[in-house]
A = this chain, B = another copy of it.
Amino acid sequence: VIVDKTLGLLNTGNNFTGKRILITAGGTREPVDPVRYIGNRSSGKMGYALAQAAKSRGAEVILISGPVSLSPPAGVEFVKVETTQEMREAVLANFNQVDIVIKAAAVADYRPLEPQEQKIKKTGEIVTLQLAKNPDILKELGTLKKHQLLIGFAAETEELIANAAEKIRLKKLDMIIANDVTLPGAGFDADTNIVKLLYPSGRVEELPQMSKTELSAVILDKIYNLMINLT
């Protein structure tokens, strides 16, 4: 812990100067019709805090965000998207030019199979909505990655470690930040988070509850360590 703390102190400067970081944030919305949509509960706070922290450490930041009620930090390149497919396109268009990807967005993994152009009138008591699976952006990046570090999030409600470990393997991630969104003080609209960090080696680091701003600093320290092969 003491070593870790020391590294943290050493790394609070401009240690990401010259690095390009792509960060995704917020949820996406998949239209059912012009009025209704399927969404994901993500306030965007974690991703926006990471973008702010990376910018303040000298990185060039591209923030790709679904609809949230936050203003993007000054000086970041900002791309607003609505659906998961739009997010995929924006991420892929930038992937070759970046060194680090942090996927903090909670994208909708299914979309209505046949979105309607006109507002659907209320009909029966029970209706059926067919959903098609969305592309798994992070998994796709895992197959494409060369020099890039890939960092993901796993928002789970049960079997946190098992589910997160499966994701790190399947998506070829360099680190995953796993949180149990059912805990008070963790999850979507909270200003704090309680997470565990997992690595491909199987190592798990458990972090105490902290603000999303503080957590952003820790995550960037850990990524810095990955960059210089210190983990």
Contact = CB atoms under 8 A, between A and B. Distances in A.
A108 to B, nearest CB: 7
Interface in A20-67: 29, 32-41
A115 to B, nearest CB: 13
A36 to B, nearest CB: 6
Interface stretch (A88-96, A141-149, A154-162): A154-162
A231 interface: no
Interface in A113-143: 113, 117-119, 122, 124-133, 136
A198 interface: no
Nearest to A117: B157
Given A127-B110, A130-B126, A133-B124, A37 B38 contact: yes
B129 A131 contact: yes
Nearest to A131: B127
A118 B158 CA distance: 7
A221 interface: no
A101 interface: no
A178 to B, nearest CB: 13
Identify the interface centre among A35, A38, A129, A133: most chain B CB within 10 Å of its CB. Answer: A35
7 contacts: A35-B41, A36-B39, A110-B122, A122-B136, A125-B133, A126-B132, A127-B130
Interface of A: 29, 32-41, 69, 106, 108-110, 113, 117-119, 122, 124-133, 136, 155-158, 181-182
Given A35-B106, A124-B133, A129-B129, 13 more contacts: A34-B182, A35-B157, A35-B181, A36-B110, A37-B38, A38-B38, A118-B157, A119-B156, A119-B157, A119-B158, A122-B136, A126-B133, A129-B130
